[in-house]
Amino acid sequence: METKWLEDFVSLAETRSFSRSAQLRHVTQPAFSRRIQALEAWAGTDLVDRSSYPTRLTAAGETLYGQAMEMLQALQNARAMLRGHSTAGQDVIEFAVPHTLAFTFFPAWVSSLRDKFGPIKSRLIALNVHDAAMRLVEGGCDLLISYHHESQPLQLDPDRYQMVTLGHEVISPYCKPDAAGEPLFRLPGKAAQPIPYLGYGPGAYLGRVTDLILKQSPVPIHLDRVYETDMAEGLKVMALEGLGLAFLPHSAVKKELRSRRLVSAAGPDLPGLEMTMEVRAYREIPVGKESPKGTAQALWAYLAKTG
C-alpha cells in the first residue's frame, strides 16, 4: 500500500468527486480511479459507493477515512521530528522549481533577496511543472515556484496551499538575426514556405501557453516543427544556431537580446504574439503540530508582505 493512495482517498472523501480530486492530485482521472481501485484491492472491500452522485463512501470507506487522516497526520509529525534532528536542515529552504525558471528567474530572484531580506541557504530541485507541483503536494519541498496563467492554472486547493506573486514573465517568439541584423525568420510565415519551428514537447507548460498564443493569432501562422524539447534553454540553443524560431521567456533571452544574438521574430503587423504569465510561489498551509522551518516561515512572511 502506497501513502499516495491514502492521500488520494482522503481527497476523494472530501471532494466527493473523482474528476475534482484527480485535478487536485495532478493525475488523469483514469489514473486516479486506478489508484483508488488499488487501495480497495489492498483493503479487500469496496470503499466507494459508485452508484451515487456525488460520490459517497461505504461504511468501510468511512472507517478508513478516519484512520487515514490519523495515519497521514502521524507521518507528517514523524517527518517534522526527523527533520528536527538536523540543525543545518532547519536553515536550508528547499525549492521545487520548473527547469526554465531554475535557469532564468530563480538565480536573480535569490540574489535580490540578499539586499531586501537577507542571505538564505537554499536547495534547488529542478523538475518539470507537473513534477514540481507534485513535490509540493507530497511534502518534498518548502516552496514551489512556478508559472501561472489563467488559461493554465495549477490545480492546487486554496484551502490547503497559500500563494504569493513574485513577478511576471513574458513569452514571445525569437530567432537569430541575419548579417544585416534582421530576423532570419519572421511571422506569420507563408503556407508555401513555413518557418522552421522549435517547439516544446507534449505536455510542457510553456508549450500549452505557446499553443494558446498561436491559436489567438489574428492571422494564420505557418510553422514547420523541426525540433522539440521540454526545456526553454534547449530551444534557445537551437535558435542561436539559426535552426528555427522559438517562443521563449524574456528572462531566458535578455542577454542575447542586448547583444543582438537573438531578435524578435514577430512581424510588424503581429505585435500581439506574446503572453504575460505570473511567477508565483506556493506553500502548504501549516496544520496541526507540524510547523514550517523558521527560515522558510520568515521568508514566506516577507514574501506575503511584499508580494
The CATH number for 105's domain is: 3.40.190.10
Residue 99 vs residues 108, 129, 163: alpha-carbon distances, Å: 15, 8, 20
Taking each helix axis from N to C terminus, what angle separates 3-15 and 29-43, rounded to the nearest 10 degrees?
Answer: 110
Query: Is the same domain home to 161 and 110?
Result: yes
Query: Is the same domain home to 266 and 217?
Result: yes
What is the CA 247 to chain-centroid distance, rounded?
18
Q: Tens digit of pLDDT for each residue in 197-244?
A: 999 988 789 999 999 999 999 889 999 999 999 889 999 999 999 999
Last residue of one domain, picked from the residues 54, 84, 114: 84
Residue 259 vs residues 177, 181, 229, 274: alpha-carbon distances, Å: 11, 11, 25, 21
Query: Is the same domain home to 186 and 152?
Result: no
Report the half-sphere exposure of 220 (CA within 13 A, side-chain side): 6
Query: Is the same domain home to 160 and 283?
Result: yes
pLDDT tens string, the chain, 307 residues long: the values are 678 888 888 888 888 888 888 888 878 888 889 999 999 999 889 999 887 778 889 999 999 988 888 887 777 767 665 655 554 456 889 999 999 899 889 999 999 998 889 888 999 999 888 888 888 988 889 999 999 999 888 888 888 899 999 999 999 999 999 999 999 999 999 999 999 999 998 878 999 999 999 999 988 999 999 999 988 999 999 999 999 999 999 999 999 999 999 999 997 777 678 999 999 999 998 875 455 578 888 999 999 988 7
Query: Is the same domain home to 160 and 292?
Result: yes
Q: Tens digit of pLDDT for each residue in 96-109?
A: 999 989 988 999 99
How many domains are there within the chain?
Answer: 3
Query: Is the same domain home to 174 and 301?
Result: no
3-state secondary structure 143-212: EEEEEECCCCCCCCCCCCEEEEEEEEEEEEEEECECCCCCECCCCCCECCECEEEEEECCCCHHHHHHHH
Query: Is the same domain home to 63 and 103?
Result: no
Last residue of one domain, picked from the residues 45, 64, 84: 84
Query: Is the same domain home to 156 and 194?
Result: no
Query: Is the same domain home to 239 and 183?
Result: yes
Query: Is the same domain home to 161 and 290?
Result: yes
Structural domain containing residue 76:
3-84
Query: Is the same domain home to 268 and 202?
Result: yes
Cβ–Cβ < 8 Å for 149, 158:
no
Query: Is the same domain home to 294 and 161?
Result: yes
Last residue of one domain, picked from the residues 63, 84, 105: 84
Cβ–Cβ < 8 Å for 268, 62:
no
DSSP structure class, residue 259: T
